[in-house]
Amino acid sequence: MENNKHLVTIVIPIYNSEPFIHRFFEALDAQTFKDFKVIFVYDHSTDHTHAAYKREMVYFSDLDIKVLHKPECEGVGKARDYAIESGLLDTKYTLFLDIDDIPRPTLLEKLVKKAEEENADVTICGYQRVNLETGKRIATEMVNNPEIIDDPQHNLVMPFINPAPWNKLIKTELIGDARFIYRGGSGEDAMFFLKVMPNCKKLVFINEVLYTYLVRHGSNADKTNLSSLEETKKGYIDTLQFYKDKGGVFNEFIPLLESFVVLHMAIGTTTRVCISNPKEKRKIIALSRKYMVENFPHWKKNKFLSFWNCIRLGFKGLMVRSCLNLYKMHMFGVFVWAYKTYTGLFKKDIKW
């Protein structure tokens, strides 16, 4: 129920975040939109994070901040879920941010303005990924989207939306029982996004960079090992069961879920894990293909990944279609080799 004096709640897990806390408090204070409250979820750090955020809360005393202390350290996904289940998300909108990133000063202002103007369920902005160590921009993403999607279960752009939560202002009431943690596994942004989507009727976009996502060695985005791939597979199975248990409109989103499996698991994560484990490349690809065949049997004819839709989406769409064909021919290893060569030569990344 919306009974809070603010319009937006920002949820931020904090764990071993001492180097980033002052900068993040400055970013919050610099927001041109002031009608928000902050929920920090403290996850039992092993550095001086506790003292650091306490100090900043005194200095930035005008910010409305609540700190939740989790009983044990269980990762970012569980920390976000802890906030969801706290009963403190009582504002119209919720935004999940990462403390080691940099929101632009107009992030909230522009997201809220667009959401209110369009009566949007989810409002999404562009972002850039930057290497924390070098300061170099890796990529600029989510800046070429349609202005509005009002049929998410059918719109062919949907699989190509990055599911990360930190560039998405969400109507709080639509979160429902969607969670970042899935049964038998760890947190996964895509699973949360997919579980929220069936509750949404309208997504709007701001095709402008309003957020800087800092990629650092050892972060979740940097994890490309075999266990992370298996965890991702568990998450998609859990989401499929979530849809089946819900029934109704949720069943209409199964093709979208299937397209996410192809794009994010079979192509994106599998490619990175193969590069990190070259001696097991053939086995990894074979297992990913087997997973799709056994659990998502219609992956070869998925409407979101049809030839004509991929053509419409330009170069990236053509690459996706090529990967799909290579999987069908048991030749996906060719793409892994090409991707590794391209990223090595040009020092550029392609985010699926």
DSSP characters for 93-118? Answer: EEEE--TTSEE-TTHHHHHHHHHHHH
pLDDT score, position 138: 86
pLDDT score, position 113: 98
Structure tokens at 322: 């090529």
pLDDT score, position 4: 63
Given a contact cutoff of 8 angstroms between Cβ atoms, the answer to whether 227 and 202 are in contact is no
pLDDT score, position 349: 65
Please state the pTM of the whole predicted model. Answer: 0.92
pLDDT score, position 73: 80
- Convert 114-139 to b/e letters by CB count within 10 Å (16 or more is b): bbeebebbbbbbbbbbbebeeeeebe
Distance of CA 118 to the CA centre of its chain: 23
Residues of the chain with CATH 3.90.550.10: 8-217
Looking at this protein, which amino acid is placed at residue 88?
A: L
Q: Exposed, middle or buried: residue 312 (CB in 10 Å: 0-12, 13-18, 19+)?
A: exposed
Measured CA to CA, the distance from residue 41 to residue 219 in angstroms comes to 18
* Phi, psi of 105, deg, nearest 5: -55, -30
pLDDT score, position 217: 62
Class of domain 8-217: alpha beta
Q: Which residues pair with 137 in a beta bridge?
A: 130
The one-digit pLDDT tens for each residue of the chain (352 residues) are 455 689 999 999 999 999 999 999 999 999 999 999 999 999 888 899 999 999 999 999 999 999 999 888 888 999 999 999 999 999 999 999 999 999 999 999 999 999 999 999 999 999 999 998 888 998 899 999 999 999 999 999 999 999 999 999 999 999 999 999 887 665 579 999 999 999 999 999 999 999 999 987 655 444 568 888 998 999 999 999 999 999 999 999 999 999 999 999 999 999 999 999 999 999 999 999 999 999 999 999 999 999 999 998 888 899 999 999 999 999 999 999 999 998 888 766 666 5
pLDDT score, position 202: 98
Distance of CA 313 to the CA centre of its chain: 21
CA distances from 164 to 74, 90, 193, 221, 339 (A): 19, 22, 8, 10, 23
pLDDT score, position 1: 46
* Separate counts of helices (H) and strands (E) for the chain: 12, 10
Given a contact cutoff of 8 angstroms between Cβ atoms, the answer to whether 194 and 152 are in contact is no
